[in-house]
Each structure stands twice: as structure tokens, then as C-alpha cells.
Structure 1
Amino acid sequence: MEDTIFRAYDVRGTVPDQLNTQVAYAVAKAYFEITPGSNFIIGYDMRESSLPFARAFAKAAQDMGRSLVSLGRTTTDMLYFGLGSKNFDGGIMITASHNPKHWNGIKLMGKGVVPIDMNQLRARYQENDLQVQEVDTEFSGEIQAVNYDKDFTDFILSLVDPTTFPALKVIVDAGNGMGGLHARKVFQLLPMIEVIEMYFEPNANFPHHQANPVVPSNTKELSQKVISENADLGIAFDGDGDRCVFVDENGNYVSPHIILAIFARFFLQRSPGAKIAYEYRNIYALDSVLKEYQGVGLPSKAGHSFFKELMHREGAIFGGESSAHYYFQDTFNADSGILPFLLIFQILGSEKKKLSELVNEFKYKFYSSGELNFILQSNKTVEEVYQALTDSFHPKSTTMPDGLVIEFDNWRLNARPSNTEPMVRINIEALSENQLEESITKVHEVMGDFAIYLGDSSYSTQEDLHSPLKDRYLKLLQNLWYTWNPHYILPIIDLYGDGWRKNSPPGEFASQYGKKKTRFHTYR
């Protein structure tokens, strides 16, 4: 059994070649061996393989004398609630979140929603490898079911003051993931909120768009709906419901790092000097809030296990990532997909502002590139990228707290490998729009020697890059700003060869590949 499935903070891989019921049983056996206690809780998402994997965990629990109860199909934040509030010794969530349908994953927690040691899990898994390969993983019984829906909605609403909520019209896109499952039950208790639902039916094929709202292109339909319905804001969930992203009343995507700053201000206004956990991708907006309210910043590596462990240890009141994972002391230091939109409702009501007004306080002071995703060429390494970026810019300071961080007087850059996908992610911040554009252009020039630029998209495997030519061509049409910018020609040549030129009109470009007539669509 290969152990590449062990990531920095979960188990994740493709089904069935990397993850199957045999592997799930082996992971379960290792998990139960290293996690003290006898009472555990499990939940799973809508993927075809998720229930079989849960049953493999049930078989391992049975074989090892552990008690396991099931929430059934649920969200990750519901699993955290059950684990944290009902005093279980550990919790398991079977999900690959936003990854495509042929992926799955396993999030593993200990008592109190404390992350387990993934290195210890991996080592035990390797020790057990030969012992479990021939074990029967078929679970013949029924996993005891539990339902904490009412407890959860009562709990999450107790953390806010609904009497402050203004009357709002809200568009909610669940992305065919699990996020709509419990959000709907919360909204039903908020008569002042008019909700228009989008894609609430769980469907692991993700027929409308990838369930990853941090990618702005996945919120285009939501933005259009907000505008056409004259709504006050839009909300989009990820696949397992532990993240949500916002669109303002003008249909503009709201960067999660700005929401992080808005939430930090909310908590620090009530608890000046409190501790706030953050990671290194975007810090300017948050840093301004920390300085104004004497907050204590706690830097962390990106990833839910790192944040949970840090917040448990240091007593942080709140933490957040640019990936839209928001962690709250009140939710057992775990991330939640529901509490963030409830807090936004309360802030909008208390401050009597529109969402765009809250956002613009930071958006036009601190400029951000958003996440720039690059997949490395097969003969290049992350270390070579780090060296080239450092040599090209001659920064004021260079550190390696989580990937590469280079700092200047008026801009900064963080480059780091993804923990869940085979790519390098780069985030740039600047104190002026001109400086941001200049820095982005220079980064593309450097990265053109090492990697292929993916825009705001992501790929789950390098093999996904070898998609049909038609698909790659259509992808370019969706990113004309990138395709026809002379600074970005090198990644395009990497994909299509020297036959393409930046001044080639789309029809002429298509004809080079045997498409004599092309029907063009408008991608908005």
C-alpha cells in the first residue's frame, strides 16, 4: 500500500487506485491504535466511495473493540460539533472536500477536536501494512446512527444575536456539496432572511461547477444571480460544508483574507488584546486591525490541523486562512461553514452597512493578486522556484515559515506548495495597484521558466493537464486577459508550442488545430 495518501493534515487520494476499502481499513486500524479512548463518531459526504469507507472504519472498530456511531451523510462542521460537544474520544470525516468525484479523503481528529499526529499515523500504517492486506474489511452490521441536527442549530445560533440581523435577501450556492444540508435548517429559523437556493442537491459529479468557492470562477453564476435578483449578498459553500465564501451586493467576489480582517475586528472590538491566528498568504489587512486593537497575531502554517493545534495551545479567540477556513474558539477551535455567514449578518445589522462598504475599507488600501496557481514542469523543483524568485527580486527580507516569504517596503510575496494538489501557489500583496501589477508581471516572467500557469483553477493530478486539446483551447478562451497579455506568453507556448502567437485572433488560432469553424460562446 502506498503512503503518498498521507498529507500534511489529512488522508487524500484517488479512488480506487490510491484509496479503497482495504486502505481505509488499514488507516482506521492505525488511527484506533494511536488514538486513546473507546468511543468514536464518524460522518461522510455524498461520494460513492464514502459510505463503503465508513463501513471499513466500522469493521476496524468492531475488530478492535471500539464503539463507533455515525452521523451519516453530513458536513465536516457537524462532525466537529458532535465530537466536541458530546465528549467522544475521536472523530472521522470521510470527504475529499472540493476535489473531483474520483477523489476521496479522511479527516481524523482526537478528543476535543484536537488533530492527530499525521506522522505518527503514517508510521503506524506502515508498520501494520503487511498485517492488514489479507484482512476481510466487509462490515456486515449496521453502524449505530445519531442525529444532532437540533442541538447543532441551537448551538450555532446561540453564538450570535439574531435580533441584530437586518432584513436581507441572500443567494446561497451549495455547489452540489453537503453545505446546504444544515444551512437550510438554520435559515428556516431566521425569518428576516429571504433565501434563494442554488444547487442544494448533493451530487458528487458536481454537475454545475467545482465545489471550491475560493476559485472566483466557481462563483460566477452566484454573482449573476445576486445581480439579477437584486440580492444583498451571496454565499457559496465548499464540498464538505466547512467553508463559505461571499459575494457582495454588486456581484463582486470577496477575498477571504478581507473577511478574515472583518472578523478579527469584530472579535477584537469585544476582546481587545485577544489572540488571532493567521497564515502567511495575505497579512496586510489583518495586520492593520491587529495594530488598531492591540491584537496578538499568531502565525501558523496553512492547514486545518496546524490552526486547531495552535489555537488549542495558545487560547486564540479566532483564526482564519485565505482559503476561507475560519476557526472559532466557540466552535471547539474548529472551522465552520455556517457561523461565518451568521457573523456577517450580525455585522451588517450592527454597523448598518452593505457588504461592499465593509469590504472596501480594506480592498482599496491593501491590494492582492489572489492565488496564482502554477503546476511545475516535470524536471523542475519547488526549491529552484524559491531560488529564482529570491534572485530575481533581491528582497528586503527572506524567510521560510511556510514556503517562501519575501518582503519589501511596499509589497510582499508568499510561494508555497499545495498540501492537497500538485502545484505551487503564489500570493502577492502590495500597498498600491501599480506596484501589484508590476509584481505580478515580474512573477509570471520568472515562473515561465519553471511552471505552467493555471489561472485561478486547480488540477488534482498532473495527468489532468493532458486533457483534450479542445478542452485546453476552451480554457484559454475563458481567460483572455491572460492569453492575450504579452507578458504571459511563455506558459501558453509551453501548452501549445511556437505555433501560437499572442496576436493570433481566436478563429485563426482554432484553425491551426483543425477547427475550421468554431462557434464562440461568451464566458462571463
Structure 2
Amino acid sequence: MFDPAMFERKADVRGVYPNQINEELAWLAGKYLTQSLKKEIGGEAPKVMVGRDGRTSSPAIYSSLIQGIASEGGQPIACGLSTTDMIQWGVGEGICGAIAGVMITASHNPAEYNGIKSVMKSPETGGIDILRPLDHMAPRYEEDTDNGATPAATCSPFPSNGKMNLQSRFVDAALSRSERLKDAKGKVVLDPGNGVGGLFRPLLSRALKAIGAEAELLAVAEQIDGTFPTRPSNPGLPGAVKLLQETVVTEGAEFGAAFDGDADRVFLVDEWGQFVPGSVLLAALAKAMVEKNGGDGSVVYSAVSSWLVPETVRAAGGKAILCRVGQDAAKVALTKTDAVFGGESSAHYNFPDTYCLDSGLFALVTFWDMLLETGLKCSQLLGQLKPWPASGEVNLRVECSDWKAMSSEVISTIKKEYGTDEKNSYVLDIDGVSVFHPKKPEFATVDDVFTIDKSGDPTGTIYREVQNYTPDWWFNIRASNNEPLLRVNFESRDAAEVTGQTYSLISRIREICGDRARVDVQDWGNLK
């Protein structure tokens, strides 16, 4: 059995294997995706790159999805073990004639999860567009028939020839973004967390040696193991990268880099072993990109990123563009605003000059280049930025009969409560609910603070341009796309407010849920 409701997801298909996502669902996903590509682009045999991460269920799902593509007349390009950004980059490059790509991964989710991420190269913009299951699979399922007869055998899940070398070509493309890496010295420690980023170190070491760099790459948790025995697949969780932090200090490394399960996200650790929040690296990279563009250009950032990001972008001369969380929204905003850079606090970093690719490896190389350009240590470079005191992302698990309805009620209630004159706050519902305090006389409404691009996003539901306003404090509450979680972020200029205000929000959420749901704190963010 498979659950057709999985096709109604907004970003990607993701769930627990084998109850929610399994081989049957993957086969149909491949079939429906191919049907959709024929309608979107035309042609009878669209070429689709397919890669997989190192999860134990990935080989079976990967094989089934390839069969599904072939059964509908598509031509699967079997890439095997790959990172998500490798697949997206390969689609952008049109390797082997690919017009679309699929990655079998559950990204940062626990080992029992798996998923299907789909993209295509936009004929209009040349960028990479997210193929949302809700738009490209659910309608095909509704159109399908009840014929249960199995089709003829389709194709092998292996390439016909063995020299595509996607992995090494991608690594070379990442290194080509820096002319200074040939001068790199010292040690850098990689932490793939037993994810598919375990591919990187040998490929990077070989490529660095080829250009004359004397840098030494070390690694922890390098062996690809879909059970994630060393740490969680999400390196952003509190304490997740302790081994990396210890190794960086012990080895006297320049910095460390931790990737998530499919290695499209990266978090850094400085030479003192201090964890670098995603928003801090986002701000640093954004500043560099705006300055490189002559002190001009737009930067897209997600709705839950630190206010440090728009502050830093504006100080560098750029425009700050707030967008809904998720790469589907980020890529739209990047394209519509002709941005020079973008990213999310979750450690996605987007490069508009390369198909709006979100790549952990591209970000790592870009930051390494910044260190070489400035001659500064990692802590010195990032120490120029002043992060706001923040709760971090606090995740509340909501256990009830219908957690989506319950989370919608919580968000709606908070929106109404903070929309009163008494609260003196701006309320923005671009992603869950965001509240910014206080109001300022020069900005009468929230639409004056976060202005709508009437040509690019006339509804203002994907992105907004941030005007010259800075709150004293702000928070966001939103629901997870894939898990029964409410995510709470609170940030203030005054560190003394953070803990108390965040606890008050948690208490209020529990009051709204009452005895209809159990609300437990799954992750405390920075609070504990």
C-alpha cells in the first residue's frame, strides 16, 4: 500500500519508510513526474537525473523510481550516490541532456524517514525550479485509472556507461569559484555525519592537490551509513557537532564544516570550536556578495532568519528581501528580484549565478575564499557581525487527532491577539505568523514595512522587500511541512527578554491547544 496523500505535499514527498513512503509510491512518483514533464516541456522522452543518499531504504526507492520514469517513456539518468546539490547542478548544466532531476533523500530527518525531491530547469529563466508534488504528482494521481496490471519490464537502475563522473565534475565546479584556493594551507575538518557528504573529502583532496594547494582535509563521521550512528543527520541541532568541534580544536584546524544528510546544507565551526549559526554565515556571505556587486543588489533571506541578515545587507548597500521558508519560495524570490545571493537560517545558501543552486559545498568554498582574501581567522571574520540574542528554533511536538488543524488554530489565534492596537506590533502572515514590535509612526501598516512587489509577487505571499525598519523584538511561529511540529523563533535586542518571552509563547500555545492536544518541547533551541 501507499498513501496518495503524500503527493499533496507542497515541497517534497517525505515520510517514514515503509509506511508512508515505499517502493510502490516511488514507482508511481516516477511515472507521474514523467507525465508532468511531458506537459510542461513537451517531448516524449524527457531525460531525468536520479540520485540517492546513503539511507538504508534509498537503494530500493531509487530503483523503483527509475523504473517508474522509464515505464512512462522517460529516460532516467542513473547517478547513484549523490548529494542533492550535485543533482540540481547536473540539471542546470544539462548533463547527459537532463531537463529535470530527482533526489532520493529525507535530508536532515531521522534515519527511518526517506523522501523524493524533484526539480527541473526552467525554460524561461534558466534557473532550477522546485517541482512541487501538489502541482505535479497529485493531479496525475487524480487522472489515473484503476488498472492493476503490471507493465512490462522497464530498465536497469544503473547507467549504461560508467564515466559520467557527476561527483568529481561537481566538486571541480565548486572549487572553480575561488582563484585563491591554490594558496590554501592548514587543516580543515569535514563532518558529513555519515551522510552522503562522505563523498566529498577524497574528491576535494584530489582536486586541491591538482591546483597546488597545501591544505589538508580531515574528516569525522565520514563513512556513509544510513543509520547515522555518529550524530543526527541534522547538524543544526544543539550538541550535534560536538565531535567536529573537539576535532577542530585538537587538530588546530582553520575551521570545520558539518553537512546534513543529503549534504546540500552546511554549518561551520570556527578555529576555537565555536558553532556558527546559519544566520551568521548567511549574513557574512550576503555582505561579501553585495560588496562584490559594487555595494548594490538584493539578498533573499527566509522569514525565520536572524534580523542580523537584513541589518547586514542594508549596511552593505543592498536590499533585503524576506521570503517564505523553503527552497520553492527562495528560488522564486531570487529570480523575481534579480538577487545577488540568498539563503535560509537552516544553512541553505543560494547562488543566483549558478541556476539559483542551494549548495553547502559552494558556500564552504565561498567562505574559504573570503578567509584567504582577508587573511583573517574564521572567528575574526565572523566576529565582525553582531548576532541578536535569540531562542534558536524551539520545536514543539503536537500530538492530537489532527495536528495540521490544531497548528492552524494556534497560528490564527496568535495572529488575532497580536493584531490589536494594544500589542502595538506589525503582524505578517507570509509564513505562519511573524510579529514585529513596536510600530513606528513612519510605517502605518505591515505592508509599509514589508512592501509587496506588485509585478513579481502581487499577493505578497512569497516574498516582501524590507524597508528601513528595525524591531526591538520579533518572533515567528510556523508549522513544519513534514512533521507534527510547531516551530518557534524569538529574537530581541535585549538578551534579558529572550527566555521569558519564549516561555510565554510556549505557554500560550499550550493554552490554545488545551486538552485537545499534548504539546511537548522536542528541541529547546538555544534555551537549554
For 1:401, which of 430, 455, 464 is the aligned residue? 430
Change in CA separation of 1:383 and 1:153 when aligned onto 2, cut-off 3 Å: closer
Partner-residue secondary structure (3-state), 2:61: helix
**Secondary structure of 2:207's match?**
coil
Counterpart Cα distance in 2 of 1:24 and 1:116: 15
Out of 30, 54, 60, the residue aligned to residue 32 of structure 2 is: 30
Query: Aligned to 2:360, what secondary structure does the other structure show?
Result: coil
Distance in 2 (alpha carbons) for counterparts of 1:141 and 1:401: 44
CA offset digits 1:29-79 (Å, max 9, x no partner)? 111111134222111112233222222233223222222111111111111
For 1:412 and 1:126, locate their aligned partners in 2 and report how far apart those are by CA, in whole Å.
41
Q: Note the C-alpha offset of 1:136.
A: 4.8
Residue 368 of structure 1 aligns to a residue whose secondary structure is: coil
SS in 1 for 2:230: coil
Is 2:265–2:359's contact at 8 Å kept on the other side of the alignment? yes
Match of 1:15 in 2: 17
1:454 aligned residue: 522
Please tell me whether the aligned partners of residues 195 and 233 of structure 2 are also in contact (alpha carbons under 8 angstroms). yes
1:290 corresponds to = 313
The counterpart of 1:213, out of the listed 210, 229, 235, is: 235
Moved more, 403-412 or 384-393: 384-393
Identity percentage of aligned residues: 28
1:234-253 aligned within 5 A: 234-253=256-275
Aligned to 2:460: none
Which range is displaced more, 308-317 or 106-115?
308-317
Residue-by-residue CA offset, 1:396-425 (whole Å, 9 max, x unaligned): 111101110001141000111112222011
> Within the alignment, does 1:352 sit opposite 2:380 as a pair?
no
**Residue in 2 aligned with 1:428?**
490
- The CA distance in 2 between the partners of 1:90 and 1:373, in whole Å, is 34
Other-structure match for 1:88: 98
Tell me if the contact between 2:343 and 2:350 (Cα under 8 Å) persists in the aligned partners. Answer: yes
* Preserved contact between residue 190 and residue 201 of structure 2 (Cα < 8 Å): no
Alignment CA distance shift 1:187-1:8 (3 Å): farther
Q: CA deviation at 1:285?
A: 1.0
Q: 2:214 is matched with which residue?
A: 192
1:111: which partner in 2? Answer: 121
Match for residue 357 of structure 2? Answer: 334
Is 1:170 matched up with 2:188? yes
> In the TM superposition, what are the counterparts of 1:118-517 in structure 2 within 5 Å?
118-131=133-146, 133-136=148-151, 139=154, 141-144=156-159, 146-163=164-181, 166-190=184-208, 191-271=213-293, 272-364=295-387, 366-378=388-400, 381-387=406-412, 389=414, 391=417, 394-409=423-438, 410-449=472-511, 450=513, 451-456=519-524, 482=528
**CA spacing shift, 1:125–1:104, aligned 2, 3 Å:** farther
Distance 1:249 1:376, change over 3 A: same
Q: Secondary structure at the match of 1:32?
A: helix
Q: Indicate if the aligned counterparts of 1:373 and 1:425 stay in contact, CA closer than 8 A.
A: yes
**Residue identity matched to 2:117:** K
CA contact (8 A) 2:56 2:227 kept: no
Task: Say which SS state the counterpart of residue 362 (structure 1) adopts.
Answer: coil
- Cα distance, 1:131 vs structure 2: 4.0
Residue ranges of structure 1 left out of the alignment (5+ in a row): 458-478, 483-524
Q: 1:485 — aligned with what?
A: none
| CA distance in 2 between partners of 1:137 and 1:456 (Å) | 51
The verdict on how the C-alpha distance between 1:109 and 1:46 changes in structure 2, with shifts beyond 3 A counting, is: same
| Larger CA deviation: 155-164 vs 380-389 | 380-389
Cα separation, 2, equivalents of 1:166 and 1:182: 17
Aligned letter for 2:347?
A
Measure how far apart 1:165 and its partner are: 5.3
**Which letter does structure 2 place at the counterpart of 1:16?**
P
TM-score by length of 1: 0.82
The C-alpha deviation readout for 1:141-200, integer Å capped at 9, x for no partner, is: 353253223422322112122258552322211100001203431233333322221111
Q: Where does residue 446 of structure 2 map in the other structure?
A: none
User: What is the root-mean-square deviation of aligned Cα atoms in Å?
Assistant: 2.4
1:55–1:139 Cα contact (<8 Å) kept: no
State the Cα deviation string for residues 83-131 of structure 1 (Å, max 9, x = none): 1112521111111112222221111111252222432224324325544
Report deviation, 1:314.
3.2
Q: Kindly indicate whether the alpha-carbon contact (under 8 Å) linking 1:26 and 1:125 is maintained by their aligned counterparts in 2.
A: no
Q: Distance in 2 between matches of 1:224 and 1:137?
A: 54
Distance in 2 (alpha carbons) for counterparts of 1:142 and 1:3? 24
Give the Cα separation in 2 of the matches to 1:137 and 1:93.
25
Moved more, 86-95 or 375-384: 375-384
Residue type at the aligned position of 2:426: S
Residues 450-504 of structure 1 show CA distances to partners (whole Å, capped at 9, x for unaligned) of: 42111248xxxxxxxxxxxxxxxxxxxxx9x75xxxxxxxxxxxxxxxxxxxxxx
Residue aligned with 1:454, SS: strand
For this pair of structures, how many residues does the alignment match? 459
User: CA, structure 1 residues 358+66, in 2 after alignment: closer, same or farther (shift >3 Å)?
Assistant: same
Aligned pair partner of 2:79 in 34, 54, 71:
71
User: Take 2:329 and 2:507, find their aligned partners in 1: how far apart are those partners?
Assistant: 33
CA distance in 1, matches of 2:234, 2:147: 35
Cα distance in 2 between the residues matched to 1:407 and 1:207: 41
- Aligned counterpart, 1:98: 108
Aligned equivalents of 1:242, 1:162: Cα separation in 2:
23
Provide the TM-score with structure 2 as the length reference: 0.81
The AA in structure 1 aligned to 2:86 is M
Q: Quickly say closer, same or farther: Cα 1:363–1:134, change in 2 above 3 A.
A: farther
Are the counterparts in 2 of residues 171 and 234 from structure 1 also a CA contact under 8 Å? yes
Cα shift readout 1:255-278 (whole Å, capped 9, x = no counterpart): 101111000100000112212111
Change (3 A) 1:183 1:389: farther
Distance 1:101 1:133 in 2: 32
For the residues of structure 2 that align with 1:128 and 1:184, how far apart are their CA atoms? Answer: 47
2 CA distance for matches of 1:199 and 1:163? Answer: 25
| Equivalent position SS for 1:156 | helix
Shift of 1:347: 1.3
